[in-house]
Amino acid sequence: MKNITTFLQARKELQKKQTTVNSITQSYLKLIDEKKELNIFIEVFRDEALKKAKEVDEKIKNNTQGKLAGMIVAIKDNICFKDHFITASSKILEGFKSNYSATVIERILEEDAIIIGRVNCDEFAMGSTNKNTIYGPPLNPINKKMVTGGSSGGSAAAVAANLCMLSLGSDTGGSVRQPASFCGVFGFKPTYSRVSRYGLISYASSFDQIGVISNSIFDNALALEVISGYDHKDNTSSKKVVERYSDFEKKAKYKVAFLKETLELKGLDINIRKSMLGLIKDLKFKGHKVETCSFPLLDYLVPTYYVLTTAEASSNLSRYDGIRYGHRSVSARNLNETYIKSRSEGFGREVKRRIMLGTFVLSSEYKEAYYTKAQKIRSLILKETNKILKNYDFIITPTTPRTAFEIDKNSQDPTEVYIEDVFTVHANLTGKPAVSIPYGRSPKNLPFGLQVLSQNFEEKKIYSFINQFLTHNI
């Protein structure tokens, strides 16, 4: 088989009868075996994938195949797949099998995608490095000494290493976009409510959204088109009609806003800043209206995000207690010890930190000072963002302040890692759609992305903009 890296390529070869879905699947399984040292896949669904591939080949012969026939997909280890293990990369769910499938899984299977396996992630999707996992960190395929980013680090690395055509991840504060930037691939977080969260293990329910990672903007758009739409199993999902995202449109001119504070951020990598300034010139040269706006709330994004998400996490993760399900300590002698020891043994350090912080900000003494105030700031952030988007089509920022850093680098201060999310949490706090696109490389050949954010349900506009103006820079 030729070097196929996208579904668009595979579909063309399948249409010309130059290959088969079975052959494509075999090739990807071989690559997964050859690149085991990357520690990306937790489990490979070898027999199941090959069985499905043969079924799809038959459908292609009969011309009854779905939209995603032959697409090889990896799924993050926090998205439920019926009769398959799911652990959220946590000891507390070790050995747990799901008895139902997430809506996104059902929808891609209905369109004949091949799910090839589940991939590594930060425990309960909490982290920006993918080092918070019981399976050990995955390695960045661009440079094995570097982190993949997180929490959907395995999802981004799987695509970058060509171990699948596309992967599904979850994005609570940049968990699809930040690793996409570190690994040099596309990562799209849709509008909150655009994609059903049914079957996604919750971290922070008002922030979580399933997203798509790919090597191709077309693949990304087509997959999001398939998984989007109302789901009666998720009452937060939107009934708004899903557009044909993969049918790109052309528009002569766009209005684009760059945020002054992001370009002036202390610690922003000099090469990333230069690329952003170059993009401003490039877009202006092409006749687009490009202006730099002030967004003085930038410094409040990360603190507001962590106060609110940890509060929701402390509530969502209370169900893992060693009684109903999850890890149960064998050394516990009574009910109280069962709760304490099971959770102490089952949760990792970062998850414990966030549960404790969330419990603190929700406590009666501090709720008004922290949680309630953070909710008010979230509303203010949304108001200011809408004010900008009233006059502009997009807000463009770097995806991350820097490129991937070394796996072995240990920071004693977790807030240093939290700052990695300074640009990405904006979209989750406001519910806006946002994408990271691969845009440049550092002198050490490490990729970095730029983020395009738009108004709610303007996914198609974002895809069309990227397809028309930005992919030439990749």
pLDDT tens for the chain, 474 residues long, are 457 899 999 999 999 999 999 999 999 999 999 999 999 999 999 999 999 999 999 999 999 999 999 999 999 999 999 999 999 999 999 999 999 999 999 999 999 999 999 999 999 999 999 999 999 999 999 999 999 999 999 999 999 999 999 999 999 999 999 999 999 999 999 999 999 999 999 999 999 999 999 999 999 999 999 999 999 999 999 999 999 999 999 887 999 999 999 999 999 999 999 999 999 999 999 899 999 999 999 999 999 999 999 999 999 999 999 887 789 999 999 999 999 999 999 999 999 999 999 999 999 999 999 999 999 999 999 999 999 999 999 999 999 999 999 998 766 567 678 788 999 999 999 999 999 999 999 999 999 999 999 999 999 999 999 998 765 444
Phi-psi map region of 287: left, alpha, beta (phi>0 left; psi -120 to 50 alpha): left
The Cα–Cα gap between 448 and 179 comes to 10
Annotated domain spans of the chain: 7-227
Q: In b/e form, how buried is each residue of 161-197, taking b as 16+ CB within 10 angstroms?
A: bbbbbbbbbbbbbbbbbbbbbbbbbbbbbbbbbbbbb
Q: How many CB atoms are closer than 10 A to CB 376?
A: 10
Phi–psi pair at 224, nearest 5 degrees? -65, -35
Annotation marks residue 98 as catalytic? no
Q: What is the pLDDT of residue 416?
A: 73
Residue 293, H or E segment = strand 289-293
The Cα–Cα gap between 227 and 167 comes to 12
Closest CA to 222 of 195, 242, 244: 244
Q: Show Cβ contacts of residue 466 under 8 Å, excluding neighbours closer than 6 positions.
A: 217, 435, 437, 452
Give the Å distances, CA to CA, from 401 to 21, 133, 181, 277, 382: 40, 24, 10, 14, 22
Catalytic residue among 151, 202, 436, 454: 151
The fold of the 7-227 domain, in CATH, is Amidase signature (AS) enzymes (3.90.1300)
Q: What is the pLDDT of residue 261?
A: 97
Q: What is the pLDDT of residue 419?
A: 82
Q: What is the pLDDT of residue 472?
A: 46
Catalytic residue among 76, 131, 189, 432: 76
Catalytic residue among 89, 155, 175, 454: 175
Task: Report yes or no on whether pTM surpasses 0.85.
Answer: yes
The Cα–Cα gap between 462 and 459 comes to 5
Q: What is the pLDDT of residue 83?
A: 97
Residue 98 in tokens: 């799901």
Closest CA to 156 of 226, 212, 72: 212
Q: What is the pLDDT of residue 3?
A: 76
Q: Show Cβ contacts of residue 421 under 8 Å, excluding neighbours closer than 6 positions.
A: 128, 173, 174, 178, 302, 305
Annotation marks residue 175 as catalytic? yes
3-class SS at 217?
A: helix
The Cα–Cα gap between 347 and 64 comes to 46
CB-based contact 159:168 (threshold 8 Å): no
Annotation marks residue 193 as catalytic? no
Q: What is the pLDDT of residue 250?
A: 86
Could you check whether the bond before residue 151 is cis, i.e. omega within 30 degrees of 0? yes
